[in-house]
């Protein structure tokens, strides 16, 4: 299965369906089922200091080192200045849950489903295959 690792609280925000767009500096041509992994990386101080962001997950358990949900990656949109401004004005919650800058990419996630049993995993950069990790 294809997996994307995210630092908390962003993985939890996707799991809780409060974040449906993952922002990245790179594009992907992959479309399809994608599992979300909460990396073991601790939350950086500047994110913890962002009260508006952290209030979105104050009731949600964080899941360091686990694959916690699956979704469908349905699109990858290049962010123009207009796209960024539109997100800032019309979708504030999503805007504070990512890095919206011209030249970056918005990965559109749909059909988010929480896993009944999180899967312990090490995590990797980019989109990775869980089966390959099991073979090591």
Contacts of 78 (CB under 8 A, 6+ apart): 27, 103, 105
Q: What is the pLDDT of residue 44?
A: 74
Domain boundaries, the chain: 2-135
Q: What is the pLDDT of residue 136?
A: 30
Q: What is the pLDDT of residue 4?
A: 97
Q: What is the DSSP string of 6-69?
A: E-TTHHHHHHTTS--EEEESS-----EEEEEEE-SPPPPHHHHT-HHHHHTTTTSPP-TTEEEE
Q: What is the pLDDT of residue 116?
A: 94
Using CA atoms, how far apart are residues 57 and 85, in angstroms rounded to an integer? 25
Q: What angle do CA 122, 125, 130 make, to 5 degrees?
A: 50
- Quote the pTM value: 0.89
Give domain 2-135's CATH architecture.
Roll (2.30)
Per DSSP, the three-state class of 70 is strand
> Mean pLDDT for each consecutive 10-residue tract of the chain (136 residues)?
95 96 97 97 79 84 92 98 97 95 98 96 91 47
Using CA atoms, how far apart are residues 93 and 87, in angstroms rounded to an integer? 9
């Amino acid at each position: 299965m294809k997996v994307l690792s995210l630092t908390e609280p962003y993985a939890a925000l996707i799991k809780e369906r409060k974040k449906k767009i993952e922002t990245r500096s790179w594009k992907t041509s992959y479309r399809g089922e994608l599992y979300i992994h909460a990396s073991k990386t601790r939350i950086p101080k500047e994110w913890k200091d962002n009260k508006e962001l952290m209030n979105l997950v104050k009731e949600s358990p964080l899941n360091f080192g686990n694959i916690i949900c699956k979704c469908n990656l349905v699109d990858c949109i290049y962010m123009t200045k207009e796209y960024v401004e539109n997100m800032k004005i019309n979708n504030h919650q999503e805007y504070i849950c990512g890095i919206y800058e011209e030249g970056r990419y918005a990965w559109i996630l749909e059909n988010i489903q929480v896993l009944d049993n999180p899967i312990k995993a090490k995590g990797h950069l980019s989109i990775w295959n869980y089966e390959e990790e099991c073979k090591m």
